[in-house]
């Protein structure tokens, strides 16, 4: 049995969960999320506790058991607390600015990259003197937040020689030595 799927979820205060025809709706102070539940997994809500069961031990059902439990847990955490990702823009002349829901990145190309951020994601860029610009993304939808962060990172992935590029705050980049100093 799936260890993740067996774990129960306690519903925090201020979060409302409704289940109707396989569609799970989670409402909270940060927003509302919906998820379609597969037939092979059943969700029951009793006294503020959610449990998940699967219909059989088929490999497909076993994998979906833990998957849907994790998706619902992320939805509950998102609408109650929210999620946050921070990206560093490292490189000489690399800049990040925001105007409303538009993120403008100068990453050493001949033109600036302007990305329209979805309305569910709150974006801000912070630039301090002597430090790399930091782009902060906040949302109640973990999947959308990860997708937007990955798209921003894909514009200039960190390279292993000088470490330039866009990386997550705290991400370790494996560095390479580069060319050796001249031969004798």
- Domain covering 83-168 assigned CATH 3.90.930.12 in the classification: yes
Q: Write down the pLDDT at residue 1.
A: 46
pTM: 0.88
**Percent of the chain scoring above 70 in pLDDT:** 97
| Whole-number Cα distances in Å, 182 to 22, 123, 148, 179 | 67, 46, 43, 9
Q: What is the pLDDT of residue 183?
A: 58
Give pLDDT, residue 178: 81
Q: Residue 122's pLDDT is what?
A: 96
Phi-psi region of 8 (alpha: psi -120 to 50; beta: other; left: phi over 0): beta
pLDDT in tens, 103-138: 999 999 999 999 999 999 999 999 999 899 999 999
Measuring CA to CA, how many Å separate 173 from each of 12, 161, 170? 37, 10, 9
CATH 3.90.930.12 maps onto the chain at 3-80, 83-168
Contact call for residues 160 and 176 (beta carbons, < 8 A): yes
Q: What are phi and psi for residue 151, nearest 5 degrees?
A: -65, -45
Fold assignment, 3-80: Outer Surface Protein A; domain 3 (3.90.930)
**pLDDT band at residue 3 under the 50/70/90 scheme:** confident
């Amino acid at each position: 049995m799936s260890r993740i799927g067996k774990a129960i979820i306690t519903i925090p205060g201020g979060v409302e969960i409704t289940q109707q025809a396989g569609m799970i709706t989670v409402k909270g102070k940060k927003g509302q999320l919906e998820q379609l539940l597969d037939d092979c997994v059943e969700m029951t809500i009793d006294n503020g506790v959610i449990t998940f069961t699967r219909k059989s031990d088929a490999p497909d059902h076993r994998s979906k058991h833990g998957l849907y439990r994790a998706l619902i847990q992320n939805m509950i955490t998102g609408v109650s607390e929210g999620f946050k990702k921070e990206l560093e823009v490292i490189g000489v002349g690399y800049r990040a600015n925001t105007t409303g829901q538009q993120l403008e990145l100068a990453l050493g190309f001949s033109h600036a990259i302007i990305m329209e951020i979805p309305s569910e994601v709150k974006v801000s860029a912070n630039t301090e003197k002597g430090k790399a610009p930091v782009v902060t993304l906040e949302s109640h939808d973990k999947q959308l937040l990860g997708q937007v962060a990955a798209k921003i990172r894909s514009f200039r992935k960190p390279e292993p020689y000088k470490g330039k590029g866009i990386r997550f705050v705290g991400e370790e980049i494996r560095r390479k030595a580069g060319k050796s100093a001249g031969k004798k």
